A and B are shown apart, each in its own frame.
Chain A
């Protein structure tokens, strides 16, 4: 195993763009060198942000570090990149089980069993979860929206890092909530909103013309950030910006959370 790490490290040093970071990170994870494994995985994903196996590795490292939600987010990203990935489905089932979400765990493991019907480990885990599944799952009501009188702080408690900022725009690009801080701390929300007016309409027309179905997100990479956008009610637009170091799975998870917050906030505002 030590020889493996040495060999793979040499290989990665020779070619930093190589995909060998995946087996190297896995070898380090198995050795318990989690910080080092994490660094290898994150650096690899900076070069290969759409590599499903890279996100799978990051998820397994996160589980070993006790970061279950991060692991779930990464596996969610794996599924977006590689539909039906049995490892991701099994991992998400594991996380749900650990969090006491038995019905969700059963659903993920059931899908994993369909994707990999010969995997005894998945079948055993599925049987274990089903044995503990009560007939009726309690319904958990959604948490109330944090009350705030300043719309600029709409997403503050949804975001998890100072490098993240989110903005809610109406159909004309006018700012409804949130803030958009540049690297100097200036709120440039109005300027960004003005440039993005019409995105929702253009995206809808493009997907309609190509018969792709309703668009769900637009993600673009810049020199220093990853920006993700999603449609919001009434032809509005939700925008999230994070640092490039943020794993794409987490970006998408944060975008989903911001979207939920926006929908509830707009609903309460209209009521």
Chain B
């Protein structure tokens, strides 16, 4: 079953090295839609990534740094990226060898479409 977010998530997972792409609620980390490789569990990833993004956003607000545009978590075997838009967070999990620059550009571009897609989803 597809949702308004499906084409966007599929486009992200077609990027080299991307293992998963999800849209989740920032507030509670509940998955709105996801495009996952076989064997991945999206619920927990979404909850943890949304929590990290939310903490980053709130700390930035506490420091008067403005909105958070892009977040990345680095580990030896991969990376987790998050971009927020309204009440939603777009999350991508990728291998360490993935092209960060391309993924960042695609995520920031996709984030601009999220509010409109969310409107379509609610309709």
Interface residues of A (CB under 8 A from B): 48-52, 81, 83, 180, 182-184, 188, 191-192, 194-196, 198-199, 202-203, 205-207, 209-225, 227, 241
Contacts and interface: CB of A to CB of B under 8 A. Distances in A.
Residue in A191, A195, A213 with the greatest tally of chain B CB atoms within 10 Å: A195
Interface in B82-105: 93, 96-97, 100-101, 104
A239 to B, nearest CB: 8
A188 B80 CA distance: 28
Contacts of B60: 220, 222, 225, 227
Contact of B73 (A51, A83, A215, A223): A215
B55 A210 contact: no
Interface of B: 41, 44-45, 48-49, 51-52, 55-56, 58-80, 93, 96-97, 100-101, 104
A13 B30 CA distance: 44
A254 B16 CA distance: 30
B78 A212 contact: yes
Nearest to B61: A195
B55 A188 contact: no
B77 A213 contact: yes
B116 to A, nearest CB: 22
27 contacts: A180-B63, A182-B65, A183-B64, A195-B61, A199-B52, A202-B48, A205-B48, A207-B73, A209-B41, A209-B45, A210-B80, A213-B77, A215-B74, A218-B71, A218-B72, A218-B74, A220-B60, A220-B68, A221-B68, A222-B60, A222-B66, A223-B67, A224-B65, A225-B63, A225-B65, A227-B60, A241-B63
Q: By DSSP majority rule, is chain B's interface helix, strand, loop, or mixed? A: mixed
Contact of A213 (B48, B61, B71, B76): B76
Nearest to A165: B63
B52 A202 contact: yes
A192 B75 contact: no
Given A81-B101, A206-B52, A224-B66, 5 more contacts: A182-B63, A207-B75, A212-B78, A213-B78, A241-B65
Contacts of A211: 77
Contacts of A192: 59, 62-63
A222 B73 contact: no
A183 B66 CA distance: 11
A92 B41 CA distance: 40
A195 B77 contact: no
Given A48-B101, A83-B97, A195 B75 contact: no
Residue in A180, A207, A213 with the greatest tally of chain B CB atoms within 10 Å: A207
B67 A212 contact: no
A198 B55 contact: yes
Sorted nearest first, the 6 A-B pairs with minimum C-beta distance are A223-B66, A212-B75, A50-B101, A213-B76, A220-B71, A206-B48
Given A51-B101, A215-B74, A195 B68 contact: no
